[in-house]
Amino acid sequence: MRPLAALLAVVLPLAPFVFYLDFSTFPEGFIIGLMALTLLMGFVAVIRRTRVGLAGLFSALVSAGLAMLGGGYVPYLAHVELGAFSASSAPLLGLSVSAALYGHYMGNVYEGASRLSGTLKKMNYESSDLRELDKMALWSAAIGAGVLLLSYGLYVILSTARVYAIGSSLLALAVFLVIYGIAMASVRRHVEGEGVEQNGRGNSRAFRKGAWNSVTYKGALRVVISCNWRHGDRGPIAGK
């Protein structure tokens, strides 16, 4: 799963620039230069295993900046237009930017899993625990994809349903609050590590119960150390 996460973290940030090449009047050389820079950032980050998600974030921010320069008040007030794209293609731009942000997310998944894998090897964990780490990365990728699809579904509903103008914003706020509350309750439940079974595989069960919710190195490592305390083995890190 980690090689796939690294590949997505490098490839997906290129999606917004592909959009600008095909659906805008921005100079091709300028867009290709941004693509090369983003690709270089992704490869270097994967090799160094640090800031792997930076390429996706860079792509999303630059794409948003190009969208501002391509229409609206900025080119109107500055009397300068670097390029433009049609309003009918704006949803495609949104899809491409969301793909770049998912690449940013997958980069964080890859970085966190790689760091935690190195720590587990230093702590002499078994190969079964490392396989659980791959499952954690897979669950993290699935959760991110599910949230992305959910946002697409909400966009389609809010853009096609007949809602009064005063109610549309309130409906969007209500949907956000409900989803945010459910997500926070789920994260809190799993991070607390409820129901870790005492059957000789507590460390592996702990990954399924809680660690997969935290794709950060420190958060997942905290769960591992907590499991060692519960089983009477402080381990080389927790004992310091």
Give the residue extent of every domain in the chain: 1-122, 124-240
Q: What rounded mean pLDDT belongs to the chain?
A: 75
Q: Which of 6-10, 96-100, 160-164 has the lowest mean pLDDT?
A: 160-164
Task: Read off the pLDDT band of 17 (50, 70, 90).
Answer: very high
pLDDT over 70 (residue 232): no
Mean pLDDT of 109-126: 84
Q: What is the pLDDT of residue 99?
A: 92
3-state secondary structure the chain: CHHHHHHHHHHHHHHHHHHHHHHECCCHHHHHHHHHHHHHHHHHHHHHCCCCCHHHHHHHHHHHHHHHHCCCHHHHHHCCCCCCECHHHHHHHHHHHHHHHHHHHHHHHHHHHHHHHHHHHHCCCCHHHHHHHHHHHHHHHHHHHHHHHHHHHHHHHHHHCCCCHHHHHHHHHHHHHHHHHHHHHHHHHHHCCCCCCCCCCHHHHHHHHCHHHCCCHHHHHHHHHHHHHHCCCCHHHHCC
pLDDT over 80 (residue 169): no
Q: What is the pLDDT of residue 80?
A: 74
Highest mean pLDDT among 80-94, 97-111, 133-147: 97-111
Mean pLDDT of 48-64: 91
Q: What is the pLDDT of residue 172?
A: 65
Q: What is the pLDDT of residue 161?
A: 66
Mean pLDDT of 160-174: 60
pTM tops 0.85, yes or no: no
